[in-house]
């Protein structure tokens, strides 16, 4: 599925040539589905959400959707990383929540039922129409725990449930098959600025994150736009 900010019935083009001009299959705005509602994005640590879905979150926020970026834990350098996360959320136009607030904690510091309880509280408070989080194929155990915790919250409410690309500071080959592509051509630079706000994770360690632009460019080629982010669809709810 390809969803973008193009109006319904608009042609999808590549290199000036139409590759999808049939109104029956043309793109509809992903953000329009959630205007007037709340979308919650849940990441294990600061910077996960920006890396995995920063362009999508920026597009949702720009369309007027309330977007909540929920970070489960800050494992080190608490004050620095929370400050960076606040700056990054502001760049994306999102609200920031730290679930395990008050100091450095790791996800394995809490029992599974306690983690699910934190995520349950998030769903009860915000009543999201959609949730974006990690997926089950991520190589980072913390990320997979968050995914399974969010799976459990579905017993409380019906919401669209998406997983984003496995996130990492260095490229690692991990299986991931997007089933939806979000056109982020207008927000890719915002995504990269938001990632750059996490100076302690990248610049201070001599790491680059430009490969996320490369990933978005490849995803964009899949659907005839300049840049796109891929999401896996765990569940869609239709009226």
Q: Which DSSP symbol is given to 141?
A: H
pLDDT digits (tens, 9 = 90+) for 30-88: 999 999 999 999 999 999 999 999 999 999 999 999 999 999 999 999 999 999 999 99
Identify the residue with better confidence: 131 or 137: 131
Delimit the domains of the chain by residue range: 39-235
Instruction: Please name the helix (run of DSSP H) or strand (run of DSSP E) that holds residue 58, with its range, or none.
Output: helix 48-62
Q: State whether the Cα torsion 169-170-171-172 is positive or negative.
A: negative
The pLDDT assigned to 27 comes to 53
Query: Does 7 have pLDDT greater than 90?
Result: no
The pLDDT assigned to 203 comes to 62
Count of residues in the chain: 239
The pLDDT assigned to 19 comes to 46
The pLDDT assigned to 237 comes to 92
The pLDDT assigned to 12 comes to 45
pLDDT band at 201 (very low <50, low <70, confident <90, very high): confident
The percent of residues in the chain predicted with pLDDT above 70, rounded, is: 85
Taking residues 185-198, report their average pLDDT: 96
The percent of residues in the chain predicted with pLDDT above 90, rounded, is: 69
Sorted by sequence, the CB contacts under 8 Å of residue 157 that are 6+ apart come out as 123, 127, 128
Q: Which fold has domain 39-235?
A: Rossmann fold (3.40.50)
């Amino acid at each position: 599925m390809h969803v973008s900010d193009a109006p319904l019935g608009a042609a999808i083009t590549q290199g000036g040539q139409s590759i999808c001009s049939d109104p029956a299959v043309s793109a509809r705005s992903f953000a329009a589905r959630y205007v007037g509602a709340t979308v919650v994005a849940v990441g294990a640590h600061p910077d996960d959400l920006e890396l995995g879905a920063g362009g999508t979150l920026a597009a949702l926020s720009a369309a007027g959707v309330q977007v909540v970026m929920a970070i489960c834990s800050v494992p080190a350098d608490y004050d620095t990383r929370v400050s960076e996360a606040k700056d990054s959320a502001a760049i994306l136009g999102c609200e920031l929540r730290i679930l395990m607030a008050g100091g450095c904690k790791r996800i394995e510091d809490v029992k599974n039922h306690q983690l699910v309880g934190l995520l349950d509280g998030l769903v009860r408070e915000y009543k999201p129409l959609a949730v974006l989080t990690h997926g089950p194929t991520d190589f980072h155990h913390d990320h997979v725990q968050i995914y399974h915790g969010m799976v459990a919250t579905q017993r409380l409410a019906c919401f669209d449930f998406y997983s984003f690309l496995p996130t990492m500071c260095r490229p690692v080959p991990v299986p991931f098959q997007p089933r939806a592509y979000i056109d982020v051509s207008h927000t890719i630079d915002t995504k990269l600025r938001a990632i750059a706000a996490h100076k302690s994770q990248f610049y201070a360690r001599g790491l680059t994150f430009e490969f996320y632009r490369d990933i978005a460019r490849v995803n964009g080629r899949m659907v005839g736009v300049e840049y796109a982010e891929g999401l896996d669809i765990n569940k869609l709810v239709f009226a």
